[in-house]
Amino acid sequence: MADKLDSLLELLELKDELRTGWVLRGIESPESVAAHTWGTATLCLFYADRADVDRDRAVSMALVHDLAEARTGDIPTRAADVDDTQELSSDEKERLERAAITDLLEPFETDEWLSLWEEYEARETPTAQFVKDMDLLDNCLQALQYEREDRYDETEPNDAFTEYENLDEFFATAAPRLTTSVGKLLFEQVKTRYEAEIGRDCML
């Protein structure tokens, strides 16, 4: 039981682990990883039926998909070339996260949660592909919300965001990675709202 509590306490640090992409963009009071997890799980709750995937499995997968970041921190995926923008390769990122989540889930003495994480990472099943799309959609919805609330200063120089204006990068990152029809439809709806907020087409 003590080991379980130790893991739980470490996992709950995700409530305070800020999302790196928003921090780099200079968002005022950016969301935590736990807040993003809740957003992704909520989208899965509402849209799983439309995607014809099991709702409970999708929500469960969403809840575990970023647990490793309690130990590794949030390593962002950038819209520009990966080699130029990430300190870690995708393979190294996956290795670190796999080691972290395996260790964090070990005290719970079940392979169920780790299997869900592995399924999500592989992106080979309809459920994993749907959950990934909802993960990307949550980013876009959050960008729309930050734009509406004027939570950043687009005129301030920012070395981390030189290729894209405003919060365009988050849409540019998501667009080519969406694989489900429901994900693509929701993306277009959110992007249209975002473009209306900034008064122009975002650069994709």
- For the chain, the domains span 2-198
**What is the rounded distance in angstroms from the CA atom of residue 175 to the CA atom of residue 170?**
9
- What confidence score (pLDDT) does residue 87 get? 64
Tokens of 126: 């309809």
> Taking the model in full, what pTM does it have?
0.91
Q: In terms of CATH architecture, what is 2-198?
A: Orthogonal Bundle (1.10)
Bridge partners, residue 32, by sequence: 18
Compute, in degrees rounded to 10, the torsion defined by CA atoms 154, 155, 156, 160. Answer: 50
Between helix 2-11 and helix 90-105 the angle, nearest 10°, is 140
Q: Which of 198, 119, 203, 123 is nearest to 169 (CA)?
A: 203
Tokens of 40: 């992704």
> 80 pLDDT exceeds 80?
no
Give the total residue count for the chain.
204
Confidence band (pLDDT; 50, 70, 90) for 1? low
